[in-house]
Amino acid sequence: MKKVVLSLGGSVLVPTLEGNRVTAYAGVLSRISRRVNLFVVVGGGGEARRYISAAREIGLDEALADEIGILVTRLNATLLAGALGDAAVPAVAASQTEACAAAASGKIVIMGGITPAQTTDAVAAVLAERVGADLIVNLTSVDGIYTADPKTDPAARKLDVISADRLLGIVGGASPAAGANMVIDMVAARVVKRSGIPLLVIDGTDPLALEDALLAGRHSGSLVTATGKKPAGLF
Ligand code: UTP
């Protein structure tokens, strides 16, 4: 079976606690897991941002704000692991090594954040390298990688297939502050480059889009590969 690591943005899984998509994602992930070996790294979403702003207002440092963000990613990950029931390893892996060991069960392995000054995208990219994944999928609240921020630049254009070098150029100028929002973080982009593992960025607000991408090979996001060309047999 192919191995796929998902970076499941908190902004799509738990944009707010009340508006969470945990049940919908649990259904889609269990169906996909019959044909694909899945690893899921869950982000912090709106609740992490709320905690991080509270931490800043209190005057806490950025590293402690990151630690609080990590706790929220792990809460979200625990919700998803619970909803997946027997299809997933019940304990959220606390390290890359723990996630690799959990993979032997053949069940879906779930992680959250692990270390300050990065995001769960970086956790997902490193995990992909550790387990020798065939693909990383970043499920986020934008529908791909743009030449500039589409929210502020009307001339921004979506890129269908780009090289890892170009991705590094695009994310290079983004802010490293706790809770910062960018399509993928710099650490993740560097690991994508050095590992050569293809990265697909798709809109995760419709969970069925993931099923379409992984099981039917159809998507309308952006693909990052070592060469900037579509590899044979992948979408
Ligand atoms: P994420 O950045 O991964 O979640 O973690 P997100 O921003 O909600 O993901 P999207 O936007 O939905 O895709 C939230 C915060 O937790 C801290 C960082 O402060 C991050 O901004 N964090 C997370 C870490 O410091 N280290 C980690 O390994 C993961």
To the nearest 10°, the Cα dihedral for 42, 43, 47, 51?
A: 120
Q: Residues 167-195: what's their mean pLDDT?
A: 81
β-bridge pairing 36-42 and 158-159: unpaired
Q: The sheet that has 2-8: what strands, in order across it? A: 109-111, 36-42, 2-8, 135-140, 199-203, 222-225, 161-163
Q: Which tokens belong to 93?
A: 């892996």
Q: Which tokens belong to 13?
A: 């899984």
Band of pLDDT at residue 162, cut at 50, 70 and 90: very high
Question: To the nearest whole number, what is the mean pLDDT of the chain?
Answer: 93
Q: Residues 219-231: what's their mean pLDDT?
A: 92
Tens digit of pLDDT for each residue in 91-126? 999 999 999 999 999 999 999 999 999 999 999 999
Among 120, 121, 140, 186, which is best to mutate for testing ligand 1, by the most ligand atoms less than 8 A from CB?
Answer: 120
- The structural domains of the chain, ordered by start, are 2-225 (3.40.1160.10)
Band of pLDDT at residue 59, cut at 50, 70 and 90: very high
**Ligand 1 centroid to 44 CA: how many Å?**
5
Whether 182 lines ligand 1, by a CB cut-off of 6 Å, is no
Are 197 and 85 spatial neighbours (Cβ–Cβ below 8 Å)? no
3-state class (DSSP) for residue 190: helix
Q: Residues 135-147: what's their mean pLDDT?
A: 94
CA-based nearest residue to 5, from 98, 138, 177: 138
pLDDT of residue 181: 59
Q: By mean pLDDT, which of 17-26, 105-114, 176-185, 214-223 is the weakest?
A: 176-185
